[in-house]
Amino acid sequence: MATSKQDSLSSSASVAAQSPSPLSLSLKPDAASTAAKIPNMLETQKTSCPLALYHGRPAHLSGLDVTLLHPVFSEFQASIRRDLDTFPFEQNDLALTDDYLLQMSSYLSEEPDRQIATAPLMAHFFGDSAAMRTELASNSQRYMPDGVLIAHLLELYPAREHGRYKGKTLFREMENGVGSGGVDPVDQGLQDYQLHCQDNAITRLHQASYVPAFLLAEAAPNFVIYGLCYEQGHVVAQPLTECVSVIPRAGVPGDMQSIVYTPDECHLASITRCFRSLANSLQALRLYYQTLKPASPQPDLLQPSPHFTTFNAGGNTHTLVYHEQLACNRASPQRAVFRATVDSAGASRMCVVKFAKSYNSEAHRSMTALGHAPRLLHCQREPSVGNFYVVIAEFISEITNPQPQQYESLQPALVQFHAQGFVYGELRLPNVLVDEAGCPKLVDFDWSGKAGSVRYPRLLNMELHWPPGVAPMAQITAEHDMWMLAHLPQVSPAVDTES
């Protein structure tokens, strides 16, 4: 329900007084807060540790992007970018957020004081349980997030067990201020979520779902919202927002211009938009859990799998069924490449689906025309998966143990490729497939493009064998390609290794 600006910006004192106070605010030690302490994080944040959180700390601990695993995260990000002047706020949204900004910018003696002060906003947008510390159990461990939202798994478990098995849509962790409490609220929230996912009682949920949830982490005067998923036995998480300060920025920022609101009101409205978007996404996630069905007993399906399952090409709608994740290991868990079946008009064929932040389809098609790349079926950015490129190519049945001389036919093709102005960039054995006819095919044109316009990634593993002149963010050259081809059988596979 939309409301007028005047009504929304009215005094929030009376509204705040009507909202419930949180319960059980004692700062009781729990398993999550212990695990989130820096000495413990130093021990667990390694690829060799099964308890590692894949959230980019350190940089090599990154998993699949959460926008690939559930659509709610892309929908949330799209919502927080909507025009402020036409955003459908509900009654008291702006007034309660205004009070939240005042409380989060104040100095308070204890964390429970801040929890009480911010409870009206939490209860208004998300429900009473988001405003209260709640003791939860996971196997034999106890943990107590500063707020949690629960969703019933109505289709996944028999009716007699609905009260026992629950999903979680939101975890909230708060610190009284930056640096207080001895832990990062993001780390503690991720430990809350990990304990939830490790609960043996929800094994059936793991089989059917990536267990999506949101994390609201607050350390006055800032907050951040994360998207969380559980993939291959590990927590994967990314921030969905910047670290938002409740204190307005200096000057008049370009994204704080409006016909309806003053610059100061724009700051308030943008944070309100964030909370209303999160509230809407949490409602969608609750419905998802309520209607989630058990995994299919069919053995050749990847379950769970990315939510991108249809695309249009050649005037037809095509459907994807995922079978396995390819070339994935815990040294490179972010590699989003899958073997799938594409169905269209009753015909099926095997394909490879890749989700990439960058991809040069022109370079790929050029190499296909030269006979040394699989045919592209689809390649474009898709908003539903965080604006990733969705690259779908024909599946290549490759031979095992190809001989070095079988790569030689790539040399004249690369010369022509370079003559057209392209460079490839990562000519390593994992990116060269030799098909059953003995023809080498290049895959993964993520780094490819026109010479002079493409560079090596910032996080380049320099422990690998590279041509002279290669460095992070250095330009990719044709000479580099030819050097790597000449050294192809000796070049180490392009995998990330833990530093």
The predicted-structure confidence for 69-128, as pLDDT tens digits, reads as follows: 999 999 999 999 999 999 999 999 999 999 999 999 999 999 999 999 999 999 999 999
pLDDT over 90, % of the chain: 76
State the CATH number of the domain containing residue 454. Answer: 1.10.510.10
Q: What is the pLDDT of residue 314?
A: 81
Asked if residue 298 belongs to a domain, the reply is no
Q: What is the pLDDT of residue 330?
A: 46
Residues 362 and 279 in one domain: no
Q: What is the mean pLDDT of the chain?
A: 89
Average pLDDT over residues 147-159: 90
Asked if residue 459 belongs to a domain, the reply is yes
Domain count of the fold of the chain: 2
Whole-structure pTM value? 0.89
Q: What is the pLDDT of residue 140?
A: 87
Q: At residue 202, does pLDDT exceed 50?
A: yes
d(CA 433, CA 398): 6
Residues 263 and 335 in one domain: no
Residue of 346, 349, 347, 340 whose CA lies nearest to 308:
340
Asked if residue 498 belongs to a domain, the reply is no
Residues 81 and 143 in one domain: yes
Per-residue pLDDT band for 179 (boundaries 50, 70, 90) equals confident
Residue of 286, 164, 144 whose CA lies nearest to 213:
286
Residues 328 and 475 in one domain: yes
Asked if residue 496 belongs to a domain, the reply is no
Residue showing tokens 């938009």:
273
Residues 393 and 483 in one domain: yes
The number of CA neighbours under 13 Å toward the Cβ of 195 is 25
Residues 257 and 325 in one domain: no
Distances (CA, A) of 12 to 87, 114, 249: 20, 17, 23
Average pLDDT over residues 446-464: 94
Average pLDDT over residues 312-329: 86
- Cβ partners under 8 Å of residue 250, min gap 6: none
Q: Quick: pLDDT tens for 43-81.
A: 999 999 999 999 999 998 999 999 999 999 999 999 999
Residues 332 and 285 in one domain: no
Residues 248 and 321 in one domain: no
- For residue 484, the enclosing domain spans 310-490
Residues 287 and 408 in one domain: no
Asked if residue 182 belongs to a domain, the reply is yes
d(CA 61, CA 317): 36
Residues 430 and 282 in one domain: no
Asked if residue 299 belongs to a domain, the reply is no
d(CA 276, CA 280): 6
- Edge-to-edge order in the sheet of strand 316-325: 310-313, 316-325, 337-344, 347-356, 388-394, 376-382
Residues 286 and 315 in one domain: no
Residues 274 and 145 in one domain: yes
Omega within 30 of 0 (cis) for the link into 374: no
* Domain end point (choices 237, 262, 291): 291
* Domain end point (choices 261, 291, 321): 291
* Domain end point (choices 245, 263, 291): 291
Asked if residue 162 belongs to a domain, the reply is yes
pLDDT over 70, % of the chain: 89
Asked if residue 305 belongs to a domain, the reply is no
| 432 and 440 Cβ atoms separated by less than 8 Å | yes
Q: What is the pLDDT of residue 329?
A: 52
